[in-house]
């Protein structure tokens, strides 16, 4: 199943200052999330960004805040699953009412907040597309095992570039040209 422009939205989970440096594949995760943010902006997809206990873990990393610009509007949470937060649930159900039922998910940590959120989204009937190279954990084995479990639960596990090219559909469009700096 492909992500469709009129059904998709981007969810970036907990990419924060004090947590990201401990992630084994941090640079790859951040670079791929920048691509997903650019894709979301190119197609004007709704974006949800969460921050887990920002007082302790800091804000979203500078590179993502810079890419977001004026769109930086995090949902602060203390629950591990985003679905456990009232403000998040309000916003995501607004998206569903608007026909946005395909979540493109990225962030950290794969085996905690990402995993719990994905499982809860699937249980609530969302179509979940997880950018496997846009998620990470402190330990690689936790990242890989979480991917296996989310795959078994029904999430679509894909490389970031697969998601990008699913939406682009063809070369030569203004959207393709806008994304070229991110996919070279």
2 inside domain: no
134 inside domain: yes
| Number of domains the chain contains | 1
| CATH for 48 | 3.40.50.850
Instruction: Measure Cα distances from 113 to 57, 143, 149, 162 in Å.
Output: 14, 12, 14, 23
Is the pLDDT at 103 greater than 80, yes or no?
Answer: yes
Contact predicate 164/183, CB 8 Å = yes
pTM comes to 0.97
| pLDDT score of 184 | 77
- Each residue's pLDDT tens digit, 2-36: 999 999 999 999 999 999 999 999 999 999 999 99
| pLDDT score of 1 | 86
1 inside domain: no
- Each residue's pLDDT tens digit, 130-178: 999 999 999 999 999 999 999 999 999 999 999 999 999 999 999 999 9
- Each residue's pLDDT tens digit, 109-132: 999 999 999 999 999 999 999 999
Contact predicate 142/111, CB 8 Å = yes
Q: Which domain holds residue 111?
A: 8-183
3 inside domain: no
């Amino acid at each position: 199943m492909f992500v469709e422009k009129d059904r998709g939205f981007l969810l970036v989970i907990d990419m924060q200052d004090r947590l990201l440096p401990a992630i084994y594949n941090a640079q790859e995760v951040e670079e791929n999330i920048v691509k997903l943010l650019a894709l979301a902006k190119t197609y004007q997809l709704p974006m949800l960004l969460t921050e887990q206990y920002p007082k302790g873990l800091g804000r979203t990393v500078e590179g993502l805040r810079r890419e977001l610009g004026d769109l930086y509007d995090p949902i602060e949470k203390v629950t591990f699953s985003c679905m456990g937060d009232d403000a998040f649930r309000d916003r995501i159900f607004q998206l569903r009412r608007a026909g946005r039922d395909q979540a493109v998910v990225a962030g950290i940590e794969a085996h905690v907040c990402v995993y719990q959120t994905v499982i809860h989204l699937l249980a609530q009937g969302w179509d979940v597309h997880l950018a496997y190279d846009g998620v990470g954990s402190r330990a690689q084995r936790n990242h890989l095992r979480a991917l296996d479990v989310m795959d078994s639960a029904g999430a679509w596990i894909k490389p970031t570039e697969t998601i990008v090219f699913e939406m682009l559909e063809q070369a030569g469009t203004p959207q393709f040209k806008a994304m070229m700096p991110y996919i070279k």
